[in-house]
Structure 1
Amino acid sequence: MALVSSVRRYFRHELLPLLADLRLAIGLLLVIALLSATGTVIEQDETVAFYQANYPEHPALFGFLTWRVILNLGLDHVYRTPWFLAILILFGSSLTACSFTRQWPMLKVARRWSYFTRPQSFQRLPFHTHFPQQTLQGIPEQLRQLGYAVFQEGDRLYARKGLIGKIGPILVHVSLLLILLGAIWGSISGFKAQELIPSGSIAPIQHLTGAGDLARAHLPTWQIRVNRFWIDYSPEGRIKQFYSDLSILEQDQEVKRQTISVNHPLSYQGVTLYQADWSIDSARIRVNNSPSFQIPVVPVRTETGNKLWGAFVPTKPDLSEGLTLLLPDLQGTGLLYNTDGQWIGSLRQGMSLALNDQLTLYLDEVIGATGLQIKSDPGIPWVYLGFGLLMVGVVMSYFSHSQIWALQTESGLYLGGKTNRALVTFEREFCWLVEQHLASPLSSGIPTAADWYPKGL
């Protein structure tokens, strides 16, 4: 019991105030911002070869940043590292402690009302005045016209409005906690993958570029079938749009089908498939009267950086002789070259080319492959909800919490008030209230402006 009591005392009097310290929260927020910037500048979830090529050891970037440093510190996947998640959890703990030790007690105090019983209490208020030989008559109705909630007990009165302004900061803290929760949950249970699937083929999700620990053990079991992939070209030959006709298969049964394009993805069970890239997978060829056979193509580097694919087309069954077929795009036109690198002619999809009296080549089909970027982030709904509540909480925080007290005594009526922001607006309301009471036929002993003008102004 003594140990438990000591732990509770340490938590309440030492640890909780430390977590609720505003300086700690600001420091953690700056660290999170710096690490997020680092994750934005340094490419994430790339291969080791990529980092070795772009962050060599000699010369090191900035004198210290090399591929070994990036990989050892986990800067290639900042948002999923244990230390980044630990900082998020610590920041969330700080927000929670601040909410329970400061914001929630302030709201509880604001909800309670108390009456002033002594005239001296009004001297502490920034706005106060005294009406000799006046009563509370008319004050409640005038305050209700200004939107105040009025509480009256005999000759004492308390009014307030803008309590929503006290709820706003708490809602801001809750929204930030939801955003942190969504970020943490997405990091440990989300994944990213890239698949290059030929038209007419079926493939599972298997080439992960980044995944949380929970995601690796629970990858989707359904498969992706590319019914067709095609590209729309402009009359000038430029690419206008990519299209992929996709089907989602579960146990060989189609459960969803949709044609996707750039900026128009497919979503299924929290997984989103984006049209990201394309390639040429193979070509179907016939030589003379032979059956159609499929030959693979490979990317060819060009000095200009344009995409180009090449394939070896055998002209003899023993593969001892052949031609080179170059495909620049999916429009169905191929370029043929002999072994000496001389251009022989062009061959369009669905057509043939007679190479000599004994050899005719047919190009039946150019098969494209769609490049899909696949993402799953279960934390996104929490993040969106958090940002929505954050906007609402910020707006609510701008509401002023205004309070007015009144006390009727033998020497007259005492009136005073205060607000936490928008002093000019509150001053106008207080002046209006004073003017309305001065206009009452019961008024006598009119006070001067110095009696009710706010102190210090």
Structure 2
Amino acid sequence: DHVYSSTWFLGLIAWLGLALILCSWRRQWPALQAARRWIDYRSPRQLSKLAIAETRLCPDGAEGLAKLTTVLKVRGWQIQTQQDRLAARKGVAGRVGPLLVHTGMVLLMLGAVWGALAGNRLERFLAPERSLDLLNRNGDSQLEITLQDFRVERDPAGRPEQFRSVLALSDSAEPQEISVNHPLRHRGITIYQADWALAAINVQIGRSPELQLPLQTYPELGDQVWGLVLPTRPDGSEPVFLSLESEQGPVAVYDSDGQALTLLRPGGPAQEVKGLPLRVASVLPASGLLLKRDPGVPLVYLGFAVLLLGGGLSLIATRQLWAVASDGQLHVGGLCNRNLAAFAQELPALLEEVQQG
């Protein structure tokens, strides 16, 4: 159950993180720098070698470049013009996306490793009015948690549907309620409603006062079976076994041979067992609390946010376009890092708009 803090797992995480950093440094960062750097193509021959190239008649080269500049600016392109040529680009932010994706993954892994190495996890069962003290590294009390109330909500068939615990914290004036899927976060500690159990049973034997006796689980009898062995004689002889599966009862009573003697209802009347009146006053349930402190959670959330942002930016196509006016013709060529077919359809439409304008 410690796979995420094992040496081999942390080694794989470090290996993956190093691979992402090296990939970003050797591929993504140079690609971003190249996208931000203006490249000056001077001749039509250079443009003809690009992935997309078009040539249109243009008697007045200066006017054609001016119209193309206007159309591109309207569509959100960045323009750099020369005497008889221009360069344009759009969607440079798309080159930032892969860098952010890698950065987010590294942050996510750092947060996960930090939480695995520096986090704490504690599982405890608390009965109502019982407390749990959390100590810091110096042995001083950091937080005291008291269970004020615990309820098991059941469906008409008696199956548990929800568990609710009311907790009193030593540094909080108001009690806080937690339930399954609704934890409490307090000072970096998350308290989950994780389980339930039966802690004790209150019984009355004859005319004795009510006795609170602890219950223990019996896995050999079932997944959720609690019980205790109760002697019926002063010398401890003739014991009976009390067994129950929920705080609502019933409590089954068996003799030492395993023969069923009777059923007792919590809060019901006493019944004679081995010559003694035996009454079950109540059953005390216990709340199963899971306490977790994970200092890496903020870093994991930040990593996810950066990862999502980078993934969104990565969808933006980075487009580059060049135009050269020469000998009564307008030569246009372009590059695109994704969806080249759409760019190939857009370029002729763009030139048609220039000629019509």
TM-score bucket of the superposed structures, by smaller chain: 0.7 to 0.9
Task: Classify 1:95/1:332 alpha carbon distance in 2 versus 1 (closer, same or farther; 3 Å).
Answer: same
Structure 1 residue 310, shift from structure 2 partner = 2.0
Does 2:132 align with 1:203? yes
Aligned partners of 1:134 and 1:413 also within 8 Å = no
Structure 1 residue 433, shift from structure 2 partner = 2.3
Select 1:427's aligned residue among 323, 339, 344. Answer: 344
CA distance in 1, matches of 2:326, 2:313: 37
- Aligned counterpart, 1:140: 69
Aligned partners of 2:147 and 2:167 also within 8 Å = yes
Task: Classify 1:411/1:344 alpha carbon distance in 2 versus 1 (closer, same or farther; 3 Å).
Answer: closer
Aligned partners of 2:232 and 2:274 also within 8 Å = no
- Aligned counterpart, 1:450: none
Count of aligned pairs between the two proteins: 353
- Aligned counterpart, 1:11: none
CA distance in 2, matches of 1:356, 1:268: 49
Percent identity between matched residues is 36
Aligned partners of 1:146 and 1:429 also within 8 Å = no
Select 1:242's aligned residue among 163, 170, 175. Answer: 163
- Aligned counterpart, 1:325: 242
Q: Which amino acid aligns with 2:160?
A: I
Structure 1 residue 426, shift from structure 2 partner = 1.0
Does 2:113 align with 1:164? no
Does 2:283 align with 1:366? yes
Residue by residue over 1:85-142, the C-alpha shift from the partner in whole angstroms, topping out at 9 and shown as x without a partner, is: 2332232223223223322222122112233333332222231325352322311112
- Aligned counterpart, 1:283: 201
Does 2:318 align with 1:388? no
Higher strand share: 2
SS of 2:208 mapped into structure 1 = coil
Aligned partners of 1:285 and 1:294 also within 8 Å = yes
Does 2:38 align with 1:117? no
Task: Classify 1:132/1:354 alpha carbon distance in 2 versus 1 (closer, same or farther; 3 Å).
Answer: closer
Structure 1 residue 217, shift from structure 2 partner = 9.1
RMSD between aligned alpha carbons? 2.9
Structure 2: 5+ residue runs without aligned partners? none
Residue by residue over 1:176-220, the C-alpha shift from the partner in whole angstroms, topping out at 9 and shown as x without a partner, is: 1111111111111123222122232112469xxxxxxxx999998
Higher helix share: 1
Aligned partners of 2:264 and 2:271 also within 8 Å = no
More relative contact order, 1 or 2 (CA 8 Å, 6+ apart)? 2
Aligned partners of 1:243 and 1:261 also within 8 Å = yes
Structure 1 residue 342, shift from structure 2 partner = 4.3
Task: Classify 1:102/1:329 alpha carbon distance in 2 versus 1 (closer, same or farther; 3 Å).
Answer: same
Matches within 5 A, 1:10-29: none
Question: TM-score, normalised to structure 2's length?
Answer: 0.87
CA distance in 1, matches of 2:98, 2:243: 64
Structure 1 residue 80, shift from structure 2 partner = 0.8
Matches within 5 A, 1:5-154: 44=1, 77-126=2-51, 127-135=53-61, 136-154=65-83
Select 1:350's aligned residue among 262, 267, 270. Answer: 267
Matches within 5 A, 1:191-340: 191-204=120-133, 221-249=142-170, 254=172, 257-301=175-219, 305-339=222-256
Select 2:116's aligned residue among 187, 203, 211. Answer: 187
Structure 1 residue 429, shift from structure 2 partner = 1.8
Select 2:293's aligned residue among 359, 376, 379. Answer: 376
CA distance in 2, matches of 1:368, 1:287: 21
- Aligned counterpart, 1:68: none
Task: Classify 1:131/1:362 alpha carbon distance in 2 versus 1 (closer, same or farther; 3 Å).
Answer: same
Task: Classify 1:114/1:281 alpha carbon distance in 2 versus 1 (closer, same or farther; 3 Å).
Answer: same
Aligned partners of 1:198 and 1:368 also within 8 Å = yes
Task: Classify 1:357/1:276 alpha carbon distance in 2 versus 1 (closer, same or farther; 3 Å).
Answer: closer
Residue by residue over 1:356-376, the C-alpha shift from the partner in whole angstroms, topping out at 9 and shown as x without a partner, is: 898433322211112223323
CA distance in 2, matches of 1:219, 1:264: 29
Q: Which amino acid aligns with 1:128?
A: E
Structure 1 residue 306, shift from structure 2 partner = 4.9
Segment drifting more, 343-352 vs 313-322:
313-322
